[in-house]
Chain A
Amino acid sequence: MNRARLVRIIGTYGVLIALAALVVFGFLRYDRFLSFYNVMTLLRYNSMFALVALGMCFVIMTGGIDLSVGSVAALGSVASALASPYGIVPGLAAGIGAGLVAGLINGILVTRANLMPFIATLATMQAASGSALLLAGNQTVSVSYESGFTAIGQGSLWTFPIPAAIAALAYLTGSLVLNYTGTGRAVLAIGGGEDASRLMGLRTDRVKSLVYLASGGLAGLAGVILASQFGAGQPIEGVGWELFAIAAVVVGGTLLTGGSGSVVTTLAGVLLLGILFNVLNFENGMGWISLSAYWQSVIRGLFLLTVVLLQARLTRRRLGAL
């Protein structure tokens, strides 16, 4: 019983342990790893991925998938860059709005047209990517530096990066919604058994539409931050973001089949992947070895695989003990 409990805790919070271990490793090995500058840069850069992963987390918990997040973010960045001359609010509204539209379409395709989420969001992914290029006229769109729009990505609250604060707020809300609202519980119930949930009287279609809408909106918001941080709307950015997000969610212990998951550990998953990247850069900086970007990809892949395998073993043992 106690052992089972321990296993469950490791299964759920394994990612936190891995994260702590990686931070300690970095701290011991690299002088400036925990320096103020490095930490803040890390948070600022990864906040976009964190937002995308949060939406993905909810979608995956219903047993779905959203492949469109990367190109929706790109579309959001272009839309917000175009609106940036009018100020912060129009910029934000344009980016998030573009994302919401994409999310709404995903939701309709999945619930009304009964398409598999994989196919539906694959289609949206293509369409959003094309729309971004069309809207941007096949080039990056400079943002306005006069309207204050760049503060969203580049500014700080006292010393804390604004995008990181936005992500933190989003995660706090996400965690509350998941754990303390009926909708949040319904998300997990649907992932655990959609037909059962429907027979239990849950409004499954509404909840599913909602998660795709949220995922789209969050991807749009990530796009706003992207444009603001790098000073331009980037129609060809966002490639592979969906895979990063899926990886972060899965490393965070959320079941890819749905029904079980956590917002907090998803954030830990994002940080884990982000810090791993950071550590590899430091390692290169040490001058002992020089890892090309390709090797870094290989190492990240292997690391991801290790964490997921460990987690799968623990989870299987947990469920196997039924």
Chain B
Amino acid sequence: MTRPPDGPSPLLLDIRDIQKRFAGIPALVDASLSVRSGEVHALIGQNGAGKSTLIKVLTGYHRKDAGQVLFEGKPFEVHSPHQAQVNGISTIYQEINLVPLRSVTENICLGREKRRYGLLDWNAMHAEAERLLSRFSIGMDVGRPLGEFNTATQQMVAIARAIGFSARLVIMDEPTSSLDEREVGVLFGVIRQLKAEGVSVIFVSHKLDELYEVCDQVTIMRDGRTVRNAAMEEIGKLELVAAMLGRDVAAVEGHATAFGERDRSRIGDVMFSARGLGAGQAVRGVSFDLRRGEIAGFAGLLGAGRTETARLVFGADRANAGEMTMEGSNYNPQRPADAIVAGMGFCTEDRKGEGIVPEMTVAENLTLALLPKISRNGVLDEQRQREVVQRFIRELGIKCSGPNQKVRELSGGNQQKVLLARWLAMNPKLLILDEPTRGIDVGAKGEIQRLIRGLADQGLGVLMISSELEEIIEGADRIFVLRDGVSVTELEAEDANEEKVLTAMAHGTSASSEAAT
């Protein structure tokens, strides 16, 4: 009955005019989305545009306030992810939502166990898990706990689980954010297979190139509304970005990142250097120098040891080989406190887990590390706290209702700014930024990038880890490529290009060495 007049394949999902408020604040105002059978449909928008909320409404995690959902032509009312699954909608959430302590098999088969004589048939379940994973050309011991495998493998397991439910619609919320290029290729292969089988896919991603590679159709959301729906081939990248940002096409033309021009003259002498750093298997010989006013970029595949090296520098883990010097003297941090005293700051990759305290306010989060400095005899000097907080909200352009808003309620980009501000308030000499723009929308990303460049121009040494090639190549003054825990190449920004960096990252790395232990 909902056969479209124009298209060949029928409409599988038709979402109309969904509204959803959280505590009175509208998250979805007028969200619509139509997906045909066997279609790969991109859903894009800045952070806070309402993509995740829309997905959670669809899967029964949240209840909608108004609007209509038709699935296979019939009204679709589910009240739990379980019901959605049973009815043919399977979801892979942005943060991997599996249970690391349990085995791969359990993670894949939970909720649709195979039984024999009423009891679980482990052999059949292991076989099923292996069969599903074989689509991804992953061979693994499915009896081992999921947590023993690296993030990319876990992501693959999540996807294997989702498609194992013989779903008619698979929703993937940023499935590629933790995958390397080869793995993304494998995933796309699977998506095409699903498509061939008539399964529809909703694909959420911030990476535009990926959309053009696999998607047929795109829906763009902004501020809780659906603002554009188009065939992928009919819409240009620039147009996409413009629609997401709600700006003119002209305004987003130019560089892929917003770091701006380098000013080489600001780069000073060597401030920090590491020689032959090592710790266990993850880091096996990393050497680099960092100068004042310089942004040093760490490039490398997942598991190359970039974050691990940063943790050694910051004293979060201890090195068992190599030497470090900070400002000419020996530096051997035993704990992060030592690194902070030496003038370092560290914005972690895991913003939610290790960075912000979501339930605390902007002001509290911002001054967490600063407390000893703005307290007198152990009593917080609220006047000084207010000054510091106001200054950084202004300088970094943190968008919040005020210092007392909970950080949980801020967008990813603004949370990142709060984290940055927390370290900047300490007046550091060296700042380590691990994936500073991951999971942040295009607009806020540019702001963060400009901010980083500005900080370096003021004389701060920045060590930036990024998985985005453009960010490294356009942002860093000097690039160190890590591979399998070893720093293999050093490139001056002027000599660097994508090909050189990619070659250094890929050369000699074997995919199997990525697998855990």
How long is the Cα–Cα vector from A196 to B97 in the complex, in angstroms?
A: 4
B308 lies within 8 A of chain A by Cβ: no
Q: How far is the CB of B129 from chain A (nearest CB, A)?
A: 13
Interface residues of B in 58-114 (CB under 8 A from A): 61, 80-82, 84-86, 91, 93, 97-102, 106-107, 110-111, 113
Residue pairs across A and B with CB atoms within 8 Å: the count is 84
Question: Of all chain A residues, which has the CB nearest B165?
Answer: A201
Question: Of all chain B residues, which has the CB nearest A195?
Answer: B97
- Identify which of A50-58, A144-152, A175-183 touches chain B: A175-183
Cβ–Cβ contact A322 & B110, under 8 A: no
Which of under 10, 10 to 19, 20 to 34, or 35 or more describes the interface residues of A? 20 to 34
- Identify which of A40-48, A158-166, A184-192 touches chain B: A184-192
Cβ–Cβ contact A198 & B517, under 8 A: no
Among B86, B98, B113, B148, point to the contact of A193 (Cβ < 8 A).
Answer: B98
Among B61, B85, B110, point to the contact of A186 (Cβ < 8 A).
Answer: B110
A289 lies within 8 A of chain B by Cβ: no
Cβ–Cβ contact B119 & A259, under 8 A: no
How long is the Cα–Cα vector from A189 to B106 in the complex, in angstroms?
A: 8
Q: How far is the CB of B467 from chain A (nearest CB, A)?
A: 20
Q: How far is the CB of B316 from chain A (nearest CB, A)?
A: 14
A32 lies within 8 A of chain B by Cβ: no
B516 lies within 8 A of chain A by Cβ: yes
> Across the interface, which residues of B come within 8 angstroms of A321, CB to CB?
148, 517
B120 lies within 8 A of chain A by Cβ: yes
> Across the interface, which residues of B come within 8 angstroms of A197, CB to CB?
99, 110
B147 lies within 8 A of chain A by Cβ: yes
Interface residues of A in 170-223 (CB under 8 A from B): 176, 179-182, 184-186, 188-189, 191-193, 195-203
A260 lies within 8 A of chain B by Cβ: yes
Q: How far is the CB of A178 from chain B (nearest CB, A)?
A: 10
B445 lies within 8 A of chain A by Cβ: no
Interface residues of A in 269-322 (CB under 8 A from B): 319, 321-322
B206 lies within 8 A of chain A by Cβ: no
Question: Of all chain A residues, which has the CB nearest B114?
Answer: A182
CB within 8 Å for A192 and B101 given contacts A322-B148, A322-B516, A322-B517: yes
> Across the interface, which residues of A come within 8 angstroms of B80, CB to CB?
198, 201, 203
Cβ–Cβ contact B102 & A189, under 8 A: yes
How long is the Cα–Cα vector from A202 to B85 in the complex, in angstroms?
A: 10
Question: Of all chain B residues, which has the CB nearest A260?
Answer: B101
Cβ–Cβ contact A201 & B111, under 8 A: yes
Cβ–Cβ contact B101 & A201, under 8 A: no
B161 lies within 8 A of chain A by Cβ: yes
Q: How far is the CB of A316 from chain B (nearest CB, A)?
A: 13
> Across the interface, which residues of A come within 8 angstroms of B107, CB to CB?
189
Question: Of all chain A residues, which has the CB nearest B60?
Answer: A201
Question: Of all chain A residues, which has the CB nearest B56?
Answer: A199
Centre residue among A197, A199, A260, A322 by max chain B CB count within 10 A: A199
Cβ–Cβ contact A201 & B81, under 8 A: yes
> Across the interface, which residues of B come within 8 angstroms of A169, CB to CB?
none
A4 lies within 8 A of chain B by Cβ: yes
A1 lies within 8 A of chain B by Cβ: yes
Q: How far is the CB of B307 from chain A (nearest CB, A)?
A: 14
Among A193, A199, A322, point to the contact of B91 (Cβ < 8 A).
Answer: A199
How long is the Cα–Cα vector from A140 to B113 in the complex, in angstroms?
A: 48
> Across the interface, which residues of B come within 8 angstroms of A179, CB to CB?
120
The 8 closest A-B pairs by CB, nearest first: A192-B99, A180-B119, A201-B82, A259-B101, A192-B101, A196-B97, A201-B85, A180-B120
Show 21 A/B contacts (Cβ-Cβ < 8 Å), sorted by A: A180-B122, A181-B120, A182-B111, A182-B120, A188-B99, A189-B106, A189-B107, A192-B99, A192-B100, A192-B102, A193-B101, A199-B91, A199-B93, A199-B97, A200-B161, A201-B111, A203-B82, A259-B101, A321-B517, A322-B148, A322-B517
> Other than the known A188-B101, A259-B101, what 6 A-B pairs have Cβ atoms closer than 8 Å?
A181-B113, A184-B120, A188-B99, A189-B106, A193-B98, A193-B100
Give A residues with C-beta under 8 Å from B: 1, 4, 176, 179-182, 184-186, 188-189, 191-193, 195-203, 255, 259-260, 319, 321-322
